[in-house]
Amino acid sequence: MNKPNVYLVGAGPGDPGLITVRGVELVRAADVLIHDQLGTAEFLAMAKEGCELYDVGKFAGNHKVTQDGINELLVQKARENKLVVRLKGGDPFVFGRGGEEMLYLAEHGIASEVVPGVTSAISAPCYAGIPITQRGYTASLAIVTGHEAEKEGTDIDWQALAKIGTVVFLMGVKNLPVIAKSLIDCGRSPQTPVAMIQNGTYPGQKTVCGTLADIAQIAETAGIKPPAVTVVGEVVALREKLQWFEKRPLFGKTIVVTRSRHQASVLCSQLRELGAQVIECPTIKIVQHGPGEEFREFMSESDSYEHLVFTSVNGVEGFINALQKQGRDLRFLGGKKVICIGPATAEAFVKRGITPDFVPESYVAEALLPYFEKLPSAGVALLRAEKAREVLPEALAKLGHNVKVFPVYHTEYVDAENNATINALAAGQVDLVTFTSSSTAEGFARVMTGSQIAPASVPAASIGPVTTQTCRDLGFNLKLEATEYTIPGLVDAMCKYFESLRGA
């Protein structure tokens, strides 16, 4: 048998955590990625450099590319001997037309395989707290396309569906009145519970409940729009006790992350885990200096410095990077005191087997002064950013220490793809913009240049007092400052902030 070079991959319903491991492997390996619009956006950044991307997304009333066009594109790319991944929302074989695409490939002599995906028919009700099967409630389940509800000659057997315990309709927003009436006309009680879940598994998930008699009116009043899943059956009543996703502390909140792209993942993942919708708007990038002239000077004078002070994770990484490029390793630290500001900075050494000699309880530079006040005159090297506050070196010098700053990295502003951020701010859809340093705040001010967004309309969340002052200087509307000046501390402060708003 020929080894396939076309794979139909189910991307799942929208939550990026619901794709399979095999699906991710293929996305990363693909030479060509032919993707839908719904449920796939999060995975495009995983594509390797040079991968050809084709958006063939279709949704109600708008077909970007016809199905025939998609089929022909698959064959064309497969014949170029490229690894082709057809990334489809949900599951390829659950109203995903994956069968049609696979048959077309087979008819043209092209081998293909399918990687199943999590269908919204199961996941959307799950995220709404509705088990579509439940002992004592239903012994049967049907999944039906809502597109064909009002078509003449449809093969939907309404008489049969009216007798099934749980019925899940996909893509049936427009035809909801027809669906409800058809089931009632065929004997289903008008009081049968019904739920509609819009954008299931996304942070913007919206759920409304009613009965067959009134769900159409309830959904219209609530403004439910595609994509949405409709669940009909007694199991809907369990949502009152079992809903969980919409109870997450940051559910429904839109938060902008301005950290550099390579550092943003930790904050973004924590926010998403708590239910937030995250807009990534990196405003800076970290540039490591490597073993430049200043670092070589530090190495030549290293015997003069008993204390090495690191003020950030970037400083640790910049130092180690430069050290390794000079053919040295962390044995260089033997006999020296390693001083770190903040637990994240300390952890950067700990995970490499080095336990810092001192980490102050407070995570600002000034917190080091009591430690150095107790010491006789000593050599102190600060390995930090090129531009930073001079408070610490000046204060240490006043205490009689021999202090020298050695920059190991610097930050540069980047021109972020900021349309999504600007549009969301303009529409009043952003709940918080997070700032993890003064440079991210200054970079965000640059992003706003030329827009109609007033600084006072930026709801700022600051990681600590220095960043807070920068936010105030820029005119941002400061909503909160973390008590613990770390990423977990910032996330905790955001949770408490929104909790206080709910209690007000």
Residue-level pLDDT at 266 = 86
Specify whether 103 is located in the same domain as 211. Answer: no
The sign one gets for the Cα dihedral 309, 314, 318, 321 is positive
Domain count, the chain: 4
Residue 343 domain-assigned (yes or no): yes
- The pLDDT tens digits of the residues spanning 164-200 come to 999 999 998 999 999 999 999 999 999 999 999 999 9
Residue-level pLDDT at 148 = 72
Residue-level pLDDT at 255 = 96
Residue 189 domain-assigned (yes or no): yes
Q: How far apart are the first and last CA of the chain?
A: 66
CATH number at residue 314: 3.40.50.10090
Specify whether 277 is located in the same domain as 312. Answer: no
Cβ-Cβ contacts under 8 Å for 455 (sequence gap 6 or more): 445, 448, 474, 475, 476, 477
Mean pLDDT of the chain: 92
Residue 314 domain-assigned (yes or no): yes
Residue-level pLDDT at 62 = 58
Range of the domain at 468: 254-283+414-503
- The pLDDT tens digits of the residues spanning 3-22 come to 889 999 999 999 989 999 99
Specify whether 170 is located in the same domain as 268. Answer: no
Among 190, 223, 247, the domain boundary falls at: 247
Residue-level pLDDT at 196 = 98
The residue-averaged pLDDT of 25-41 equals 91
Which has the closest alpha carbon to 380: 406, 358, 357, 348?
Answer: 406
pTM for this prediction: 0.80
Edge-to-edge order in the sheet of strand 206-211: 141-145, 166-170, 228-232, 193-198, 206-211
The catalytic site residues sit at: 36, 58, 171
Residue 151 domain-assigned (yes or no): yes
Contact status, residue 306 vs residue 337, Cβ threshold 8 Å:
yes
Q: Tally the residues of the chain.
A: 504
Residue 1 domain-assigned (yes or no): no
Contact status, residue 130 vs residue 235, Cβ threshold 8 Å:
yes
Contact status, residue 436 vs residue 258, Cβ threshold 8 Å:
yes
Residue 293 domain-assigned (yes or no): yes
Query: Between these two residues, 54 and 260, which has the higher pLDDT value?
Result: 54
Residue 73 domain-assigned (yes or no): yes
Specify whether 84 is located in the same domain as 129. Answer: no
Q: Is the pLDDT of residue 349 over 70?
A: yes
Residue-level pLDDT at 37 = 83
Q: Is the pLDDT of residue 154 over 80?
A: no
Specify whether 129 is located in the same domain as 241. Answer: yes
Specify whether 347 is located in the same domain as 362. Answer: yes
Contact status, residue 146 vs residue 175, Cβ threshold 8 Å:
yes
Residue 82 domain-assigned (yes or no): yes
Query: Between these two residues, 361 and 167, which has the higher pLDDT value?
Result: 167
Among 99, 117, 135, the domain boundary falls at: 117
Among 378, 411, 444, the domain boundary falls at: 411
Residue-level pLDDT at 58 = 67
- The pLDDT tens digits of the residues spanning 262-306 come to 777 889 989 999 999 999 899 988 899 988 889 999 999 999 999
List the single range of 53-62, 138-147, 339-348 with lowest mean pLDDT.
Answer: 53-62
CA-to-CA dists, residue 356 to 312, 316, 345, 485, angstroms: 13, 12, 9, 18
Residue-level pLDDT at 65 = 87
- The pLDDT tens digits of the residues spanning 416-437 come to 667 889 999 999 999 999 999 9
Specify whether 126 is located in the same domain as 243. Answer: yes
Specify whether 64 is located in the same domain as 144. Answer: no
Specify whether 342 is located in the same domain as 438. Answer: no
3-state DSSP call for residue 9? strand
Residue-level pLDDT at 110 = 95
Query: Between these two residues, 374 and 154, which has the higher pLDDT value?
Result: 374
The residue-averaged pLDDT of 240-249 equals 96
CATH number at residue 92: 3.40.1010.10
- Confidence category of residue 149, pLDDT binned at 50, 70, 90: low
- Assess whether the previous peptide bond of 488 is cis (omega < 30° from 0): no
Specify whether 101 is located in the same domain as 155. Answer: no
Specify whether 320 is located in the same domain as 365. Answer: yes
Q: Is the pLDDT of residue 479 over 90?
A: yes
Specify whether 230 is located in the same domain as 313. Answer: no
